[in-house]
Amino acid sequence: MPDLVLEGLTRTFGAVNAVDHVDLTIKAGTFVCLLGPSGCGKTTLLRMIAGLEEPTSGSLRLDGRDLTHVPTHRRDFGMVFQSLALFQHLDVAGNIAYPLKLRNVPRERLEARVGELVDLVRLKGFEHRAVSKLSGGQRQRVAIARALAVEPSLFLLDEPLSALDAKLREAMQVELRELQRRLGITTIVVTHDQREAMTMGDLVVVMNGGRIRQAASPTEVYRRPADAFVADFIGTTNLIKVRRKGEVLLCEGGQLPRADIAGEGIVSIRPESLALVRPDRGTIVGTVSFVRDLGASVETFVSAGDQSYIVVASPDAWSPVQAGDKVGLTVAPGGVLVLPS
């Protein structure tokens, strides 16, 4: 099975390392999400894989074949761009047929393949529609069908869903994931949306400052983040400075149960692992600074000294408090996560 292997891949712009010695092996058929804040190098990394950006150093191999200096048009990868880059002078079928025509696919086979792809992305009846007359989701599907037309060995998507509204985006995430599973094609998606990454990815690659901070399954990056950056970027978390004292960890406003830490360090506690209790029952005591009722859940912000804690609870489990109330906090068993410093 063809694996994609990146070794020490680096791209420098001036004095900045946009991508800094990235090593990554992607198994065939994996759905990978490159996740990170803007400017973290995820798009540059994807563009290097596509051949649109020349690596400053490092190498790229697919199935043992060195692709580092192979020009884009000989890589046979399918790519969906953030702007979609649909060809306005061609209709839906024309866009999908474009890569096939470049390869001089005979007319009959070409038409059959376009028909298959139109079915695949559920655009039957729209073949001869101008791309400018399509909705956002339909345009998205044309871009996907066009990129998949020649059955590429690698399917790359650069923030493909960022132009869609929230509802449609969630629907497309599921659709994209199902499509990928059906075709079994190795897929790499760049996104800055951690929910999107968690929905679609087999492997979530969290990047920051041009480096990979963690590459693991969605559950693992959430439950066992490699460092404070990952813990903070994936979902919401409380990053708490602690100091070991005997059997407990001291923190602002009180103490936490013992964890595997010596001296000083940082722990992460997910908001759902904290619970609000009466001040005398909590291990941490603080003052409510803000309450945000989102309907499905309630977020309570509690400040204690310099530290701010976020507590998330379902409305049923939440005891009514308001800003200024003194409250206690308790941690669910196993809720304290020690982060390597």
Partner 1 sequence: MKRERPRALADYLPVAVPTAVLAIFFVMPFGIMVAISFFKRVQGGFYTPDFVFDNYARFLSAFFGRVLGFSMGLAALVALIAVSIALPFTVQLAALRGRAQVAWLVALLAVLSLSEVIIGFAWATLFSRTAGISNILAFLGAMARPVSLSPSFGAVLTGMVYQAFPYAVLILYPAVVRLDPALAEASRTLGASPVRAFLTVVLPALRHAVGATLILVFVFALGSYLLPQMLGQPQHWTISVLVTDQAVYQSNLPFAAAMAVFLVLACLGLIGIATLVGRQKELA
Q: Which residues here bind partner 1, judged by CB under 8 A?
A: 50-52, 71-73, 75-79, 81-83, 85, 87-89, 98-99, 102-103, 146-147, 149-150, 156
Q: How far is CA 15 from CA 21, 47, 267, 268, 276, in A?
A: 15, 19, 34, 34, 49
Which helix (DSSP H) or strand (DSSP E) does residue 36 occupy?
Answer: none
Q: Which is nearer to partner 1, 88 or 219 (CB)?
A: 88
Rounded CA separation 56/131 (Å): 37
Give the shortest CB-183-to-partner 1 separation in angstroms: 17
Beta strands in 252-320 (DSSP E): 254-256, 264-269, 274-277, 284-293, 298-304, 307-313
Give the shortest CB-226-to-partner 1 separation in angstroms: 32
Q: Which is nearer to partner 1, 55 or 286 (CB)?
A: 55
Q: Which is nearer to partner 1, 138 or 308 (CB)?
A: 138
Copy the structure tokens of residue 200. Answer: 């679609």
CA 58, distance to chain mean position in Å, is: 24
CB atoms within 10 A of CB 138: 17
CB 289 within 8 A of CB 301: yes
Q: Which is nearer to partner 1, 81 or 301 (CB)?
A: 81
Q: Which is nearer to partner 1, 109 or 243 (CB)?
A: 109
Give the shortest CB-146-to-partner 1 separation in angstroms: 7
CB atoms within 10 A of CB 60: 20
Q: Which is nearer to partner 1, 83 or 319 (CB)?
A: 83
Region of 12 (left: φ > 0; alpha: ψ -120 to 50; beta: rest) is beta
